[in-house]
Amino acid sequence: MAFAGPEGEVRALERIDLDVADGEFVCLLGPSGCGKSTLLNAVAGFVRPTAGRVLAGDREVQGPGPDRAMVFQEYALFPWMTVAENVAFGLEAKGLARPEIRRTVSEWLEKLHLGGFGDRFPKDLSGGMRQRVAIARVLAIAPPILLMDEPFGALDALTRRNLQDELLRVWSGSGRTVLFVTHGIEESVYLADRVVVMTHRPGAVKEVVPVALPRPRDPSAQDFNALKRRLSELVMEEQARHELDELGVAGRGAA
């Protein structure tokens, strides 16, 4: 996949060959600028690949669809709507009956510990609670594929861990497929069935690392930290490549 840049074509992705199984939780991990979010946007249908195809099930992705829903790092809530109205938005777009909408909204607010906050506005909530609302809004429409672009990146460590646990709780046994972009090595080991490590731009699959650890996972455990070290080595190799490329660009500019 390539984009036009000020100095010519920029190759964002190449040689991406990745299968994600139904119900699997897969994390995309790599240095900044490696194309993780671009790949996620291609799966979402927000951008079209300039070569190759993206398939959701047996259908080629031509654009956004109800089988795929995105949670962004920025909460993307409607500030003029209450919490309950935000969660109900997608259900209303689907044309569900009002009693079913009320029941589903109530169910997801309770599941994500937002009961009693349905009449609040986003401005009245903490960052962690806003992200809970964003997740509830997506899960309420029951998409089989959930796409998450660093959804916990802006949160403090304690809130992030709490939301990671909530996400795993609602995902477990749901049958949903999750494709989750992160910069966090520990986060990827904590959440994923597999971690896809991507190369420095143009982004390609460097290595796919299975995480065969039972849940709930203990970040202090020896096997957990062994995986963290392995992933750190893979990511740091690509970060070093990125820094060398940056130095090369700076050197050419100075010349």
105 in a structural domain: no
**Residue 15 pLDDT more than 60?**
yes
Share of the chain above pLDDT 70, in %: 92
pTM to 2 decimal places: 0.89
What CATH number corresponds to the domain at position 235?
A: 3.40.50.300
Examine residue 234 and state whether it is found in any structural domain, yes or no: yes
Which residue range(s) make up the domain with 41? 2-67+143-254
Residue 41's pLDDT is what?
94
Let me know the angle formed at the C-alpha of 42 by 178 and 58, rounded to the nearest 5 degrees.
70
Q: Quickly tell me which residue has 């290595």 as its tokens.
A: 207
In the predicted structure, residue 8 carries a pLDDT above the cut 80: no
Question: Is 118 within the bounds of a domain?
Answer: no
Give residue 77's pLDDT band: very low, low, confident or very high (50, 70, 90).
very high
Establish if 87 belongs to a structural domain: no
pLDDT higher than 90, residue 1:
no
Residue 131 lies in a domain: no
Helix (H, G, I), strand (E, B) or coil at 139: helix
Task: List the Cα angle 22/72/112 in 5-degree steps.
Answer: 75
Domain for residue 29, yes or no?
yes
Q: Is residue 109 part of a domain?
A: no
Locate 176 and state its tokens: 């949903």
126-174: pLDDT as tens digits: 999 999 999 999 999 999 999 999 999 888 899 899 999 999 998 997 8
- Edge-first strand order for the sheet with 68-71 is 68-71, 145-149, 177-182, 25-29, 194-198, 205-210
CA dihedral 15, 21, 27, 33 (to 10 degrees): 20
CB contact set of 148 (below 8 Å; sequence gap of 6+): 70, 71, 178, 179, 180, 181
Residue-level pLDDT at 255: 45
Domain count for the chain, please give it. Answer: 1
The answer to whether residues 170 and 178 touch, using CB atoms and an 8 Å cutoff, is no
92 found inside a domain: no
Strand segments (E) across the chain: 2-5, 8-11, 25-29, 55-56, 59-60, 68-71, 145-149, 177-182, 194-198, 205-210
Task: Give the Cα separation of 69 and 176 in Å (integer).
Answer: 11
